[in-house]
Structure 1
Amino acid sequence: MITTTGLTKVYRTGRSGRSRGHEVTALDGVDLHVREGEVFGVVGRSGAGKSSLIRCVNLLERPTAGTVTVDGTDLTALAGRGRRAGKELRRARSSIGMVFQHFNLLSSRTVKDNIELPLEILGHSGQERSRRALELLDLVGLADKAKVYPAQLSGGQKQRVGIARALAGNPKVLLSDEATSALDPETTRSILRLLRDINRQLGLTVLLITHEMEVVKTICDSAALMENGRITESGTVGELLAVPGSRLAHELFPVDGAGTGPGGTVVDVTFHGDAATRPVISQLSRTYNIDISILGAAMDTVGGRQIGRMRIELPGPFEENVVPLGFLREQGLQIQIVDEPAAAAVAVADPVTEEPAGSTDQPAALTKDGAK
């Protein structure tokens, strides 16, 4: 549904007279693929290029190079050379809704009138605008707020109005620019539930940017990690959690803990599906009569599935634990050796399925757009 290829955005600042000014590369050849009907999250720290990316997707920012294709239409081919969008680009943009971080509601208009504004610009009749606005108010749970003004609403209610306005033109794609970062945790959860419900009811493709890992865990089907204007990891959340060495997986489920002393083997174990509810570690201990130290653990529900990570320490060096580690793999678990000497040994023996801890390379199991 959304594809960017070689997307580059360079900002030029401070140009005056003979001075060429300073160039800042916000996007550096971004390749991204968002499948139809999924919720895709782009996560990264401030300055990573997330906002530039989402604004280039609907061409609010014109890319310096590369292409943006939405629902089969190459938007960059429609952009033209002028600063203002042409008729064809405006028409294509009508299939893309945008939810902003700071709501951007008009204080002089009622809630209903704010939602009607995009339809007014598109030339719909007053009756059509009114009917659609009331439908959307009901959808976002604000049917009783049609005649009030934004100043009378809470932050969460304002964002619900912003979502309703973004849906006014029946878009196929919804873009969310840090839509929950200005909200308290409980309101954030309610807005995320609303976005997920809308995604399921309307079949919308949702692309959101965020710096909050909780957002990714709560509603995203797929995710990408963005750093210094580049996508460094991308894939479905399940794929990322299953790939040893994934930095996104570590951020989603941070599990730390140092070994109890020299001579042990420290292992990160990722649990999925049925394995998350089975007593696998206790079975391992009983089967091989070994004492296992649990150094850290995290468990949560992602996409309706229980997923967890655990850091454990097995007694003895790696060579003595090959069979117990094989037992864990047979149970459908993903493992990553944490201590460096053992990790190096595993990497040499099996470079495809295991990666040394701390690797920053692209996970071997994923391509750049997340496909296996």
Structure 2
Amino acid sequence: MITTSGLTKVYHPHGSRGGAPGTRTPQEIVALDGVDLHVREGEVYGVIGQSGAGKSSLIRCVNLLERPTSGTVTVDGRDLTALAGRGARAGRELRRARSRIGMVFQHFNLLSSRTVQANVELPLEILGLSGKERSRKALELLDLVGLGDRAKAYPAQLSGGQKQRVGIARALAGDPKVLLSDEATSALDPDTTRSILRLLRDLNQQLGLTVLLITHEMDVVKSVCDSAALMERGRIVESGTVSELLATPGSRLAGALFPVGGRATGEDRTVVDVTFHGDAATRPVISELARTYNIDISILGAAMDTVAGRQVGRMRIELPGRYEDNVVPVGFLREQGLGVDVVGVTDDAPAAGAQTSPLVKEGAK
């Protein structure tokens, strides 16, 4: 549904014309550096990263609010970059394609002088619908987001969560196939954030919407995303479905979703991170391992939660003996369908030191 290929965005200092084609000056800011992204139809896809990683530039390039420096953006089979043309203003074909892409902003962007209903009607006015059609559609959308009784209120009379629901209703006015969310919950308290995330998931399922959301919060990915990507310095450094990432040894996203701590108590110990998902999450696998091989197992840390409606957990355990002594027990865990990552050991040979998963701790953008 959404595909970017080799997407770059370079910002030049004010008044700078840049260097020769294919070259970059020291003053340039490279926000996107060859981003390849693929979002499947009907999924909720989260892009996460620290401040300055390029997340907001990416989402604004997806609907051509920002013109990419190079590369292509395809949405629902249409190459938007080909429709953009050379002029500063969007042409008719690009405006028509954009009408099928809804956008939800971090700070709501509601017009204070308009009622809630009139704010939702604004894009319908631009589309040329009659007053009767606009009113009917706006009221339907407000009912959909749970604000049918607030149609005549003004933004100043609403809570932050209610304002964001109005923003979502407005984004749905053009019957979009794609909904883009730029840090839509970062200005909200935790309870309101959860309610907005539930609404986005409900809309995804009820309307068949494809949702691309930008966030710096791991809980957002954990709550609603089917797939996710980690951005750093304008590049995507890790991506996949959440279930694939959880099963990938050494995945930084998986480690950040379910951080587990604990260090080996001695050099003659093996530390293993085990990921449980699906049926394995409710089976006593660790006790089976202890009984089968008659070994004492220490649990250094554990985390359990629900991801995209499925129970998932991670546990860091310590086995007696070095890695060479535990090849068979580790193999037993893998045979049970678990994700297994031996901390500090590569696929080739043991290595000193433990792996860490530094990730998102900073604020939005």
**TM-score (norm. length: structure 1):** 0.91
SS at match of 1:309: strand
Contact 2:59 2:214 in 1 (8 A): yes
Contact 1:14 1:21 in 2 (8 A): no
Contact 1:38 1:206 in 2 (8 A): yes
Q: Does 1:280 align with 2:285?
A: yes
Residue among 306, 312, 317 paired with 1:307: 312
Residue among 104, 111, 117 paired with 2:116: 111
Contact 1:336 1:357 in 2 (8 A): no
Alignment CA distance shift 1:237-1:124 (3 Å):
same
SS at match of 2:28: strand
Contact 1:271 1:308 in 2 (8 A): yes
Q: Following the alignment from structure 1 to structure 2, what is the Cα–Cα distance between the partners of residues 336 and 357?
A: 11
CA offsets 1:284-307 (integer angstroms, 9 cap, x no match): 111111110100111111011111
CA RMSD of aligned residues (A): 1.8
CA offsets 1:92-132 (integer angstroms, 9 cap, x no match): 10000000000000000000000000000110111110000
CA drift of 1:317 comes to: 1.1
Q: Does 1:121 align with 2:122?
A: no
Residue matched to 1:100: 105
Residue matched to 1:333: 338
**TM-score (norm. length: structure 2):** 0.93
SS at match of 1:101: coil
Q: Does 1:60 align with 2:61?
A: no
- One-letter code of the match for 1:12? H
CA drift of 1:17 comes to: 9.7
Q: Does 1:156 align with 2:161?
A: yes
Which runs of 5 or more residues in structure 1 are unaligned? 350-355, 361-372
CA offsets 1:21-70 (integer angstroms, 9 cap, x no match): 82100000000000000000000011000000000000000000000000
Residue matched to 1:347: 348
Residue among 182, 187, 199 paired with 2:187: 182
CA drift of 1:255 comes to: 1.0
Contact 2:12 2:18 in 1 (8 A): no
SS at match of 1:283: helix
Contact 1:43 1:209 in 2 (8 A): yes
Q: How does 1:137-216 map to 2 (within 5 A)?
A: 137-216=142-221
CA drift of 1:14 comes to: 3.7
CA drift of 1:250 comes to: 0.8
Q: Following the alignment from structure 2 to structure 1, what is the Cα–Cα distance between the partners of residues 27 and 227?
A: 35
Alignment CA distance shift 1:261-1:113 (3 Å):
same
Q: Following the alignment from structure 1 to structure 2, what is the Cα–Cα distance between the partners of residues 149 and 226?
A: 37
SS at match of 2:187: coil
Residue matched to 1:247: 252
Most deviating of 186-195 and 14-23 = 14-23
Residue matched to 2:241: 236
CA offsets 1:114-163 (integer angstroms, 9 cap, x no match): 00000001101111100000000100000100000000000000000000
Which runs of 5 or more residues in structure 2 are unaligned? 20-24, 358-365
- One-letter code of the match for 1:141? G
Q: Following the alignment from structure 1 to structure 2, what is the Cα–Cα distance between the partners of residues 347 and 66?
A: 37
Misfit runs of 4+, over 3 Å: 16-21, 356-360
Q: Does 1:226 align with 2:227?
A: no
Alignment CA distance shift 1:16-1:327 (3 Å):
closer
Q: Following the alignment from structure 1 to structure 2, what is the Cα–Cα distance between the partners of residues 293 and 148?
A: 58
Residue matched to 2:4: 4
Q: Does 1:32 align with 2:37?
A: yes
Alignment CA distance shift 1:314-1:9 (3 Å):
same
Q: Following the alignment from structure 1 to structure 2, what is the Cα–Cα distance between the partners of residues 44 and 257?
A: 25
CA drift of 1:329 comes to: 1.1
Q: Does 1:51 align with 2:51?
A: no
CA drift of 1:261 comes to: 1.7
Residue matched to 1:15: 15
Contact 1:337 1:357 in 2 (8 A): no
SS at match of 1:347: coil
SS at match of 1:233: strand
Residue among 320, 324, 344 paired with 1:319: 324
- One-letter code of the match for 2:123? P
